[in-house]
Structure 1
Amino acid sequence: MPLSNFKPAEYRAQLQQKVDRLKPAFAELGAATAEVFSSSETHYRMRAEFRIQHIDDEPQYVMFRKDGDRKAVVIDEFPVACKPIAELMQPLRRAIAQSDTLKRRLFQIEFLSGLSGEVLVSLIYHRPLDEDWEREARALMEQFSIGIVGRSRKQRLVLAQPYITETLNADGQAFTFRHYENSFTQPNAGVNEQMISWACKQLPKLSDDLLELYCGCGNFTLPLSRYFNKVLATEVSKTSTQAAKENCTLNDISNIEFARLSAEEISQALQGVRPFRRLAHLDLADYQLNTVFVDPPRAGLDDFSRTFVGQFKRILYISCNPETLLRDLEYLCQNHHIRSLAFFDQFPYTTHMECGVFLEEKSV
């Protein structure tokens, strides 16, 4: 996000412009109204990454504009980052600058934090990391009470642990999550809490089960599990699947089963087309799956997944890309009504908008 767009005094007007731009396209598909969920105007991002440029032998955070001008812009402050990151950035940079070992060939720094206040810092290098680096990085970690991961080509050194522990308050309950370094997590925790609460409110407590595709670390899975007898959640990322299982244990939730499968694979499994060893411990015939929840990547649903999802009575869809969501809804609305629509401003001061849609089969 170009910092030139960061104008808190104009935030409400910018948000309204985004809403006004999106509403007509959804209205054409039968969504008459939309709930709008705003963000904090400052200090809302829980993740930040910066290239490092060495200027007069001093490492500096830099970003590059997306308008074709590839000139590096030095970042002295970053008010969109959550306070733990924003307050750490410059003291950490100055400490690294004092160490020839820590700054030598440092290429990038990534920050991960949360509402809990924990911070995990990834230092990325264009050189192998040795014992001297580890010794000084540990001293840095202790100085700032942070976690540190060092990475270079084919090398990853984890000092302490590779995750932060986060607490999200949503739908009237606190949920604990492990958010791992270099894995996807929702960037705007405040808006994420609103997204989870909205998703839960769309679903009355049902006597059947839920299928979730693209479950990630269980961000929506855990809260939604309280509304169903059982949940079958799928995710292709091994790291995210493992984190989701750990998060179930942390929250004492036992009615969720996770499978590292794609949408096409779980469809084949449910239809008995082929067996999967990763599902051998489950009796798929015991699931009553009438509701599906999807939170796909920016590309939205592929052709197969779109057809598969369209077979369910109830569809809950969270999207980070309105354009691909509208494309998918053109197909889904042939047999489903849009019952609820929401806009979530995960990315203030940009053109991006997160959307939530709840659909029910027209015969329902």
Structure 2
Amino acid sequence: MGLAFDPTGYERQLEEKRQQLTALLQPFAAPAPEVFTSPLEHFRLRAEFRLWYEQGQPHYAMFEPGNNRQPILIEQLPIASERINALMMPLLEACKADPVLGRKLFQVEFLTTLSGEALVTLCYHRPIDEQWDIAAQQLADQLNILLIGRSRGRRRVLQRDHVLEELTVNGRTWRYQQAEGGFTQPNGQVNQHMLGWALDAAGDNADDLLELYCGNGNFTLPLSTRFRRVLATELSKSSVRSALENIALNQVDNVTLVRLSSEEVTQALTGVRAFRRLQGVDLSGYEFGTVFVDPPRAGLDPATLELVKGYRRILYVSCNPLTLAANLDELHKTHRIVRCALFDQFPYTHHMESGVLLERR
């Protein structure tokens, strides 16, 4: 991603995506998609670079898909945030000048935010120790960044292992802990559009929301303002930790978070199986009128499809329109699409993010 950067072709590529999504949703009588554009450059808040050594000197390198032998050496990446671009060369020069920082360094990972924070992870093919800590802290102070070192099986965190992001949705600012190595939406501006669309599509409700695949609470926090209560579920332990921190950080008091997979949620809600992790949670007390799902690329499994069909409204955000369309083959039997959207999270690629709101027929 980023090697085919060409702003002059952006509108054409976006129109192709719109047409593709429209064609995929046409069998389900979907309305025309609302389209949310991306900034043309500096939109990607995270980036990962391998280092390629020529005559003993390191260079940032990227590779075309399927070709890891022919590097493309770069000094700047136009799709990456301005902060990443400003840090790239000073960081590399510092590592070249100090063997404690630069010896057997093979990868650099950047995580930045709209709020201005930057966390950099340096990955090594050698053990790193307290001597590295001293040199790394000097570099972190010099560049005003958070810094983490990784070597096989070990991680050295100098200050903290996360950044604090701020996202503004419908005039309200939400704060998010975004952990190193955890999933976050890479395009912050488009993420704000996604959150705003989901909030608008949800409307105001007197009943409750069931959310599957809640991640770090990206959608959970804004959506909590539109429902009486939210039961949010997520399987990843690190995402659950971040989500709990974000719920507390924003003083949200109507969300209950449980660590369950979507399959386990189905088993719990259908009474097939009891879970200790649900101890103290009165499932019978919820009145779910809406279910929100943001599944992985594989989409919803058959059991989860059957579960969500039982709710009056389904708000579905998808990172893979092909699996979304496959799921809609089943959901369309009981629900109709009343709104849909295209979010251009990944300009200059064929990837697209989309959303649909379905209501029971």
Normalising by structure 1, report the TM-score: 0.97
Bigger Cα displacement from structure 2, 54-63 vs 148-157: 54-63
Bigger Cα displacement from structure 2, 111-120 vs 294-303: 294-303
1:156-183 deviation digits (Å, cap 9, x = unpaired): 1111000000100012211000100000
Question: Which residue of structure 2 lines up, in the alignment, with residue 90 of structure 1?
Answer: 89
Shift of 1:69: 6.7
Question: Which residue of structure 1 lines up, in the alignment, with residue 299 of structure 2?
Answer: 300
CA pair 233-54 structure 1, distance change in 2 beyond 3 A: same
Question: Which residue of structure 1 lines up, in the alignment, with residue 74 of structure 2?
Answer: 75
- 1:1-364 mapped onto 2 (5 Å cutoff): 1-3=1-3, 5-66=4-65, 68=67, 70-362=69-361
Shift of 1:128: 1.0
1:226-261 deviation digits (Å, cap 9, x = unpaired): 111110000001111111111111111010011110
User: What is the SS of the residue equivalent to 1:300?
Assistant: coil
Shift of 1:2: 4.5
Say whether the 8 Å CA contact 2:31–2:337 is kept in structure 1: no
Letter of the structure 1 residue corresponding to residue 191 of structure 2: N
User: What is the SS of the residue equivalent to 2:222?
Assistant: helix
Say what the alpha-carbon RMSD is for the aligned residues: 1.1
1:319-363 deviation digits (Å, cap 9, x = unpaired): 01111111111111111000101000000000111000000111x
Bigger Cα displacement from structure 2, 268-277 vs 292-301: 268-277
Q: Separation in 1 of the partners of 2:186 and 2:200? A: 22
User: What is the SS of the residue equivalent to 1:202?
Assistant: helix
Say whether the 8 Å CA contact 2:24–2:322 is kept in structure 1: no
Q: Separation in 2 of the partners of 1:336 and 1:189? A: 31
Shift of 1:11: 1.1
CA pair 92-69 structure 1, distance change in 2 beyond 3 A: closer
Q: Separation in 2 of the partners of 1:47 and 1:38? A: 19
User: What is the SS of the residue equivalent to 1:299?
Assistant: coil
Q: Separation in 2 of the partners of 1:358 and 1:95? A: 50
Q: Separation in 1 of the partners of 2:146 and 2:36? A: 32
1:91-120 deviation digits (Å, cap 9, x = unpaired): 111111111111111111110011001000
User: What is the SS of the residue equivalent to 1:28?
Assistant: helix
Q: Separation in 2 of the partners of 1:69 and 1:270? A: 46
CA pair 270-181 structure 1, distance change in 2 beyond 3 A: same
User: What is the SS of the residue equivalent to 2:202?
Assistant: coil
Letter of the structure 2 residue corresponding to residue 215 of structure 1: C
Say whether the 8 Å CA contact 2:266–2:303 is kept in structure 1: no
Structure 1 residues without counterparts, runs of 5 or longer = none
User: What is the SS of the residue equivalent to 1:273?
Assistant: coil
Letter of the structure 1 residue corresponding to residue 348 of structure 2: Y
User: What is the SS of the residue equivalent to 2:338?
Assistant: strand
Bigger Cα displacement from structure 2, 18-27 vs 79-88: 18-27
Q: Separation in 2 of the partners of 1:309 and 1:108? A: 41
Bigger Cα displacement from structure 2, 299-308 vs 232-241: 299-308
Letter of the structure 2 residue corresponding to residue 53 of structure 1: W
Q: Separation in 1 of the partners of 2:170 and 2:304? A: 29
Shift of 1:287: 0.6
Say whether the 8 Å CA contact 1:148–1:158 is kept in structure 2: yes
Q: Separation in 1 of the partners of 2:26 and 2:214? A: 28
Q: Separation in 1 of the partners of 2:321 and 2:185? A: 17
Moved beyond 3 Å, runs of 4+? 67-70
Structure 2 residues without counterparts, runs of 5 or longer = none
Number of residue pairs the alignment of both structures matches = 361
Q: Separation in 2 of the partners of 1:235 and 1:171? A: 26
Say whether the 8 Å CA contact 2:24–2:321 is kept in structure 1: no
Q: Separation in 1 of the partners of 2:358 and 2:125? A: 49
Shift of 1:268: 1.6
Q: Separation in 2 of the partners of 1:255 and 1:193? A: 22
Say whether the 8 Å CA contact 1:2–1:65 is kept in structure 2: no
1:9-39 deviation digits (Å, cap 9, x = unpaired): 2211221122122212212211131100000
Letter of the structure 1 residue corresponding to residue 114 of structure 2: L
Letter of the structure 1 residue corresponding to residue 256 of structure 2: E
User: What is the SS of the residue equivalent to 1:50?
Assistant: strand
Bigger Cα displacement from structure 2, 237-246 vs 49-58: 49-58
Shift of 1:67: 5.1
User: What is the SS of the residue equivalent to 2:195?
Assistant: helix
CA pair 10-339 structure 1, distance change in 2 beyond 3 A: same
User: What is the SS of the residue equivalent to 2:176?
Assistant: strand
User: What is the SS of the residue equivalent to 1:350?
Assistant: coil
Q: Separation in 2 of the partners of 1:22 and 1:227? A: 28
